[in-house]
Structure 1
Amino acid sequence: MSANGGTKAIIAALLANVGIAITKFIAYLLTGSSSMLAESIHSVADSGNQGLLLLGGKRAKRAATPQHPFGYGRERYIYAFIVSIVLFTVGGLFALYEAYHKWSHKEGITEWQWVPVTVLVVAIVMESFSLRTAVKESNLVRGNQSWVRFVRRAKAPELPVVLLEDIGALLGLVFALFGVTMTLITGNGRWDAAGTAMIGVLLVVIAIVLAIETKSLLLGEGAETHDVAEIEKAVTNGPEVERIIHMKTLYLGPEELMVAAKIGVPRCESAEELAQGINAVEARIRAAVPAARVIYLEPDIYRADAAERGGNGSAATGQPTPDEVAGRPGS
């Protein structure tokens, strides 16, 4: 659902930004307004960003290979991170440079004065429809999370990226409209430069937020607390497992979660009985958390005396390995 919704929001934003970029650039050529130029580049950058998100989504669907046995799901994170860099450089820094340049050339808008205001108002309407689509698609997967938590914790990067881009675009249009309107009223082009600078600062802030969040996804995030609880419940909710010795989770992609756990099992009469028990536990995990597609369970015999001596209770060693010390003990 999140992938389809993300694609729909990206396409809506792409169509809106291509049309808006063309009209803004025509308005800049007619008026020479720096705010219009900054907004033109902003829309061009946004259009390129949406193209990158679509490309990342397509490449992430490639089948796993021996060199990449867990597939290419993280390509979506890589392209989202590239988007943040493009937004920072092409969008934010260019706008700040243009504002600096315009501040020393404070001529007002003397020709086609009605064009920039008309273009900006129309662009605000078009961008509002794009944001409406992004909000609607995000609500399908957001649940009861706040918008801030959704942006910070979403594993699929496309919807948060499009949301922040659309919000930034709308605010940027308002800033541009402010700068242009004040320039037309006062005849002082520095108001235009001020509007351009506000656009630049806004884009830099949004780019930094996106970079921080996508960097976290690239480094690798584990399952949310409620999903971890569901997995633990699924593991121990049967006679096959006595307890979880330790467990780790990792998102291999937006919709693919890996679960690795060492589990304490009762003594079995045969390897076949043990294998059947592990298969039953895996089935319960997948039923509880469908995103848990890659599951590795290591059976062991839990020993209370080893745990009391400071170990992890594993009968195999009696003392925890460094990797096990870093793991989270089960309940």
Structure 2
Amino acid sequence: MSAGGGTRAIIAALAANLGIAVTKFVAFVLTGSSSMLAEAIHSVADSGNQALLLLGGRRSTRKATPEHPFGYGRERYIYAFIVSIILFSVGGLFALYEAWHKWQDPHGFDSWQWVPILVLIVAICLESYSLRTAVKESNHVRGKASWVAFVRRAKAPELPVVLLEDVGALFGLVFALFGVSMTLATHNGKWDAAGTAMIGLLLVAIAIVLAIETKSLLLGEGASPENLQAIEKALVGGPGIERIIHMKTLHLGPEELLVAAKIAVTPNETAEDLARAINAAEARIREAVPIARVIYLEPDIFSNRAAKAGDGAAAETAEGITTH
């Protein structure tokens, strides 16, 4: 994902949510609707989330230091994980609490009855614009992958987070519109509570999905299958390297990949020839996968013992690769 595309989507979502939050709070003050309060808190939480994503993107660009020699690229993952926690606690759990409170003391709207309807319609229009921006930017990097696969496999967290937030916000607005409309029609405040509960359950579900995906990124994910195949092909695509014994990859950040491999070289090569072969292999890898910025290649003479030197996952990879 390009950083610029993610930033544009985040800024569009932030602007929309700030405007929506103000109008929702005004509607809540005028009507006392719990759905409007839940939606207002939801918009405030989303605004804070987008601010955190922007902060994470900014901090991730800091240069590497002796204490953090691989840089700060993973800060984007950390802030995305914090976003999922905020969405769960501030958004989802608060809405569920407010729904329970309203269910215990249901009441209709005594004044400004049609204000929530107007506010929700305006909010749906603004959220639709934000979602349109996120979809447009995502399509630039999604390729042929389905939306589910894009959310699950994306190494850059910003666009999937904004996409899920915007989709959740739109559904939440529909739920709020349902609860408010039914309350106006029946004068029964329990419909408002039901709409609030639906919003809370939706936000909790989205937060759980985000937490699972960002946790995986925090733990450390390897290269995508496409990049892995390109790296393998580049490694064995020149003279002096017979095969890959075993290899591991790790994303140091969304746009920085570490590649570490033990390679089988031609026996009886001189040190000079070996150095040239390794340098050429690194150049081929960087040309094939530009985000492969940190590369460590260890030369060896192929043997069954060398192939088993890695852990189980590495050995399995080696068995699949050594058929070249």
1:312 aligns with 2:306: yes
Greater Cα shift, 18-27 or 266-275:
266-275
Greater Cα shift, 224-233 or 83-92:
224-233
Provide the residue aligned with 2:254 in structure 1: 254
How far, CA to CA, are the matches of 1:36 and 1:139 in structure 2? 32
How many angstroms does 1:228 deviate by?
A: 1.0
How far, CA to CA, are the matches of 1:324 and 1:41 in structure 2? 48
Task: Show the 5 A alignment for 1:109-128.
Answer: 109-128=109-128
How many angstroms does 1:105 deviate by?
A: 1.3
Task: Show the 5 A alignment for 1:53-92.
Answer: 53-92=53-92
How many angstroms does 1:211 deviate by?
A: 0.2
Provide the residue aligned with 1:151 in structure 2: 151
Provide the residue aligned with 2:167 in structure 1: 167
Question: Quick check: 1:249–1:257 contact (8 Å CA) kept in 2?
Answer: yes
How far, CA to CA, are the matches of 1:126 and 1:60 in structure 2? 30
Question: Quick check: 1:240–1:281 contact (8 Å CA) kept in 2?
Answer: no
Show structure 1 runs of 4+ deviating over 2 A.
267-270, 323-326
Across the two proteins, how many residue pairs are aligned to each other?
318
1:29–1:298 CA distance, 2 compared to 1 (3 A): same
How far, CA to CA, are the matches of 1:123 and 1:146 in structure 2? 28
How far, CA to CA, are the matches of 1:144 and 1:279 in structure 2? 34
Task: Give SS of 1:244's match.
Answer: strand
Provide the residue aligned with 2:8 in structure 1: 8
Root-mean-square deviation over aligned CA pairs: 1.0
Please list every run of 5 or more consecutive structure 2 residues that lacks an aligned counterpart in the other structure: none
Give the partner amino acid of 1:221: E
Task: Give SS of 2:205's match.
Answer: helix
1:324–1:193 CA distance, 2 compared to 1 (3 A): closer
How far, CA to CA, are the matches of 2:164 and 2:311 in structure 1? 39
How many angstroms does 1:114 deviate by?
A: 1.3
How far, CA to CA, are the matches of 2:116 and 2:312 in structure 1? 63
Please list every run of 5 or more consecutive structure 1 residues that lacks an aligned counterpart in the other structure: 314-319
1:183 aligns with 2:177: no
How many angstroms does 1:252 deviate by?
A: 0.4
Give the partner amino acid of 2:84: S
Provide the residue aligned with 1:301 in structure 2: 301
Task: Give SS of 2:249's match.
Answer: strand
Give the partner amino acid of 1:232: E
How far, CA to CA, are the matches of 1:324 and 1:214 in structure 2? 25
How many angstroms does 1:195 deviate by?
A: 0.2
Task: Give SS of 1:118's match.
Answer: helix
Question: Quick check: 1:312–1:324 contact (8 Å CA) kept in 2?
Answer: no
How far, CA to CA, are the matches of 1:127 and 1:326 in structure 2? 44
Provide the residue aligned with 2:289 in structure 1: 289
Give the partner amino acid of 1:150: F
Task: Give SS of 1:250's match.
Answer: strand
Task: Give SS of 1:242's match.
Answer: strand
TM-score by length of 2: 0.96
Task: Give SS of 2:293's match.
Answer: strand
Greater Cα shift, 115-124 or 102-111:
102-111
How far, CA to CA, are the matches of 1:10 and 1:174 in structure 2? 22
